[in-house]
Chain A
Amino acid sequence: VREFAASLPNVRALLDTDIRAAFDGDPAAKSLDEVVFCYPGVSAMIRHRLAHRLYLLGVPMLARIIAEAAHSQTAIDIHPGAQIGESFFIDHGTGVVIGETAVIGRNVRVYQAVTLGAKRFEMAANGRLVKGQARHPTVEDDVVIYAGATILGRITIGRGSTIGGSVWLTHSVPPGSNITQARERSDTFDNGGGI
């Protein structure tokens, strides 16, 4: 408890960088106070940064209870084991999933419905799942991941990359990559066409 309490100033300092990142990253944000009050991403990060401390201090169930309460409140699902650097901004947030062994650098921005998930679950000889293996992505500094992107497996998104909306990505990409996938298509809808 003492160690947890002693970490609170550090948690607040980290959260201040998240709040600043939200203010700087969203033209709709009119003030820092508005960001603190109204942004589900900030609410989720307050809970995550507290829960992550508890996870590191060896009380994973308490951490998980906090994370799940935050998930209910914000629709943002961050496992307390996820390591997240300073100035992290989740805009809108609904449907975001960040897995247990994800590692996120500094100054990363993600939008709603982004998944940082696992691709496969390793099975032990006894047929049970192996627990605790690194299986989620590493996202380096200054990466932006747009809405609905699904990034799976222990892959690395290189520094400064941009991942487009709805991209399905299961391999590493080098620093500075711009990954897009879905291209719009114009179709006529006459006589049931294009449906």
Chain B
Amino acid sequence: MNVSLKQSAGLDAYLNLGEIVADLRKLRAASQKRRYREGRLPELPSREAMTLIVDGLAAALYPRHFGPSELTVDCTTATCSIHSRRPCVPCRSRCGESSISTTPDLISLPTSMGRNRSKS
């Protein structure tokens, strides 16, 4: 470990990383000052989080195709969702009994379920 630390310290010095990082920071600060003056920087979205959300939405729209792999045919019928009083076995094991009546989970709540459930 000491060897690799030493090696990386040597590499840092060789690349002059400290100066590069400082220059980048200066440019970033100047750009931010130009755009936002002294105001607070806006928070930016996470691309990774957006991808997960969109995949979840695709799963909510088409659960049999894009839902979790443990989803069975029963899971996508009116008698089962995490909101149902009678969740199927995969839903129970995936979400746990305690989470059954909590806020909607898009992955497990296809939009047609709510409507169908009231009829069943």
Contacts from A to B (Cβ < 8 Å): 8-9, 11-12, 15, 33, 36-37, 46-47, 50, 61-62, 65-66, 69
- CB pair B62–A36 under 8 Å, yes or no, is yes
Q: Give the distance to chain A from B52, nearest Cβ to Cβ, in Å.
A: 11
Residues of chain B at the chain A interface (Cβ within 8 Å): 45, 47, 50-51, 54, 57-58, 60-62, 65, 111-112
* A9 x B50 contact (CB < 8 A): no
* B residues in contact with A11, CB < 8 Å: 61
A8 touches B57 (CB 8 A): yes
Residues of the A chain whose Cβ atoms lie less than 8 Å from the Cβ of B65: 33, 36-37
Specify the chain B residue showing the minimal Cβ separation from A46. Answer: B58
Nearest neighbor of B57 in chain A, beta-carbon distance: A50
A interface SS class: helix
User: How many A-B Cβ pairs are below 8 Å?
Assistant: 35
CB distance from A17 to the nearest CB of B (A): 13
Q: Could you pull out 27 A-B pairs where Cβ atoms are within 8 angstroms?
A: A8-B57, A8-B60, A8-B61, A8-B111, A9-B112, A11-B61, A12-B61, A12-B62, A12-B112, A15-B61, A33-B65, A36-B62, A36-B65, A46-B61, A46-B62, A50-B54, A50-B57, A62-B45, A62-B50, A65-B45, A65-B47, A65-B50, A66-B50, A66-B54, A69-B50, A69-B51, A69-B54
Bound form: Cα–Cα A37–B47 in Å: 23
Q: A8-B61, A37-B65, A47-B54 are in contact. List 6 more A-B contacts (CB 8 A).
A: A8-B60, A8-B111, A50-B54, A50-B57, A69-B50, A69-B51
Determine the main DSSP class of B at the interface with A.
helix
How many whole Å from A128's CB to the nearest CB in chain B? Answer: 16
- How many angstroms from the CA of A46 to the CA of B54 in the assembled complex? 9
Please give me the residue from chain B that is nearest to A61 by CB atom: B45
Most buried by A among B45, B51, B61, B112: B61
- CA–CA, A161 and B18, complex, Å: 63
Q: B57: which A residues are within 8 A, CB to CB?
A: 8, 50
Write the nearest CB–CB distance from B107 to chain A, whole angstroms.
13
Chain A residue contacts of B112, Cβ below 8 A = 9, 12
B100 to chain A minimum Cβ distance, whole angstroms, is 20
